[in-house]
Amino acid sequence: MAPRSDRAAREHLDRAETYLRVAGAGARAGAAGPALTRAHTADARTVGWYGPPPPGHRLAIDAEVADGAVPPALGRRFGTADFWARWTRAESLCKAYDLPIAVWLRRYGLDVPDRLPGLWRTLTLGDLTVSVACVPTGAAGEGGG
pLDDT per position as a tens digit, 108-140: 999 998 888 889 999 999 999 999 999 998 765
Spans of the chain, pLDDT less than 50: 1-3, 145
Residue 82 lies in a domain: yes
Residue 113 lies in a domain: yes
What pLDDT was estimated at residue 8?
87
- Provide the number of structural domains found in the chain: 1
Residue 138 lies in a domain: no
CA neighbor of 63 nearest in space, from 38, 83, 80, 98: 38
Residue 35 lies in a domain: yes
Enclosing domain of residue 112: 4-126
Helix ranges, 34-82 (H)? 72-78
CA dihedral (91, 27, 42, 10) positive or negative: positive
What pLDDT was estimated at residue 18?
94
What pLDDT was estimated at residue 42?
93
Helix (H, G, I), strand (E, B) or coil at 117: coil
Residue 13 lies in a domain: yes
pTM of the model: 0.87
Residue 140 lies in a domain: no
What pLDDT was estimated at residue 117?
87
Residue 144 lies in a domain: no
